[in-house]
Structure 1
Amino acid sequence: MPSNEQRRQAAKRKLERQLARRAERAKRRRIWGAGITAFVVIAAVGLVYWLVNLGPADGEASTSPDKTSPANATKGACGYKENPSEKPPKDVGMPEDPAQTPKDGTVKVTLKTNQGDIPLTLDRSAAPCTVQSIEHLVTSKFFDGTNCHRLTASAGLKVLQCGDPKGDGSGGPGYSIPDELSSAQALTPGADGQTVTYPRGAIAMANAGPETGGSQFFLVYGDSTLAPSYTLFGKVDDPGLTVLDKIAAGGITPGANGGEDGAPAQPVTINQAVKE
């Protein structure tokens, strides 16, 4: 029969075995828990990587332009084109180019000139991409401090041309906008079948050929006969026509094309262009 000492030793060894087994089970649980945690972390990192680098293409995820890019590389409905060779004195970047350019309503702009205020009404339905661009230039203060460099007074062309940051007819905003000619082509046709009449009060984009419009525009103070190659995008309000008549009455400094085409004799400066 075992003695009391032998029974105590046997009980002690049994307790030690139980404690060892418990410790081993606890160790296994810790290993499993660490493994599961590592798996969850790796899976989460992998999901984030997929979303950032391997997920849906930009075109599938969103149709909005990249507003952080000064050149707005993402092209929308208008497809404005950067002109790398043109370095405007004031670089205001390119207009936003959403997939759906606003085509309804009007935009009110006032040219506050040293000769008086010239209020304008821009028509989105006539030329949505052009109005989008002009609105961008106005709100970016691109026109502020620029001169209207050209005034014409011939029988078939009576316009004041503005919007050139250089003031000599060669400047632009650093990008070009698409021609939108449907409204111009719907104007009253001339007898020759090749021209139309841009009526008194019309506002149209100047250009140097197809798809070269930028920031220069002309204000028609008398009916003018032109090819329908100039985007028509709004009208001069009546108070502005009174100011244009005053500018025209001030005369012209003769230019390369003669006495009826040159700089206004009374300089015209757009001190500020304001969206109302």
Structure 2
Amino acid sequence: MTRTFRTTLAAAAGLALLLTGCSTDSAEDSTSPTGTSAAGSGQSPEYTGMLPERPSDGDPVSCTYTPDGDSAREVTPPAATDVPAAGIAEATMTTSAGPIGLLLDRAAAPCTVNSFVSLAEQGYFDGTPCHRLVTSPGLQVLQCGDPTGTGTGGPGYGFDTEYPENVYKTGDSQLRQPVVYPRGTIAMANTGQPGSNGSQFFLVYADSQLPPTYTVFGTVDEAGLAVIEEVAAGGDDGSMAAGGGAPNTPVQIESVTVAS
């Protein structure tokens, strides 16, 4: 089977934060990753304002990573077959502000975790900034994953959104309704177009309201959240027209290591 995967005015204004900024991370049509469930199949969950139930562990899947512009750094796309769809991958993001522990959920987003782990192992994130912070009520996130630090960079390939979007039927009106992305969530940025996930991700340090169209692929540990909250307390420079800006306390990713 195939796996494809208002809240406040402040949250709406900050939404552009989560959209990558140019063709290097923008969408081109691509074949959906494959796995155990499909967007557009089955019955959409009842609207509750909360994220739907995450998928259970499943069998390995195949993914599609479609070439998409130039890469911000030279990397090789990840292996696309026999991708694990069960278990948790533990990672540590060492930053200039302190260590941030990540628990990557292979069952919820196998193709996303597969890509993130591949990029981490190739050193793609090393020496890169977390380029944007939003501290608005209803949207409180730190965004990272672009080596250019501009919000426009990507890995030279794109792939489809997974959980929670793939739980809903294609075109479901609920995909335009906000849900709570809980404190501690790790999710992917995208342009709003199919296949536009790349390398940029955001760390949610307080409950935030967004449409369920951003792939949730893990959680941040409490120690890491404390690091992000300290950065957030310093505010941002307000340089982003859609809301937020570069953190006043710079955050540089020194390395991302994944436990074997």
> Map of 1:80-91 to 2, 5 A cutoff?
80-83=65-68, 85-88=69-72, 90-91=73-74
Instruction: Give TM-score, length-normalised by structure 1.
Output: 0.66
Aligned residue for 2:87? Answer: 105
CA distance in 1, matches of 2:113, 2:175: 30
Deviations 1:58-90 (A, max 9, x none): xxxxxxxxxxxxxxxxxx82111011x3232x2
Partners of 1:193 and 1:214 in 2: how far apart?
22
Give the aligned partner of residue 19 of structure 2: none
User: In structure 2, what is the equivalent of residue 123 of structure 1?
Assistant: 105
Tell me the TM-score normalized by structure 2.
0.70
Gaps (5+ residues) in structure 2?
Answer: 1-60, 169-173
In structure 2, relative to structure 1, the CA distance for the partners of 1:108 and 1:156 (3 Å cut) is same
Match in the other structure for 1:227: 211
Other-structure match for 2:21: none
Counterpart contact for 2:165–2:213, Cα < 8 Å? no
Structure with the bigger RCO (C-alpha within 8 Å, sep 6+) is 2
Q: Deviations over 1:141-198 (max 9, x none)?
A: 1000000000001111000000001101000011112210337869xxxx99711100
Q: Distance in 1 between matches of 2:175 and 2:127?
A: 40
1:162 paired residue number: 144
Give the greater-gyration-radius structure (CA): 1
> What secondary structure is seen at the aligned counterpart in 2 of 1:136?
helix
Alignment of 1:126-137 (within 5 A): 126-137=108-119
From 215, 231, 239, give the equivalent of 1:247: 231
1:107 match: secondary structure: strand
Distance 2:118 2:236 in 1: 31
Task: Specify the SS of the correspondent of 2:136.
Answer: coil
Aligned-pair CA distance for 1:132: 0.4
CA contact (8 A) 1:147 1:268 kept: yes
1:205 aligns with 2:157: no
Are the aligned partners of 2:164 and 2:213 in contact in 1 as well (CA < 8 Å)?
no
Q: Distance in 2 between matches of 1:227 and 1:182?
A: 10
Q: Which runs of 5+ in 1 are unaligned?
A: 1-75
Checking the alignment, whether the CA contact within 8 Å between 2:235 and 2:247 is kept in structure 1 is: yes
Specify whether residues 79 and 159 from structure 1 end up closer, same or farther in structure 2 by C-alpha distance, changes over 3 A only: same
State the partner residue of 1:269: 252
Cα distance, 1:115–1:152 mapped onto 2, change above 3 Å:
same
Confirm or deny that 1:153 pairs with 2:135.
yes
Structure-1 separation of matches of 2:254 and 2:236: 21
Aligned-pair identity in percent equals 47
Hey, what does 2:220 align to over in structure 1? 236
* The one of 73, 76, 101 aligned to 1:93: 76
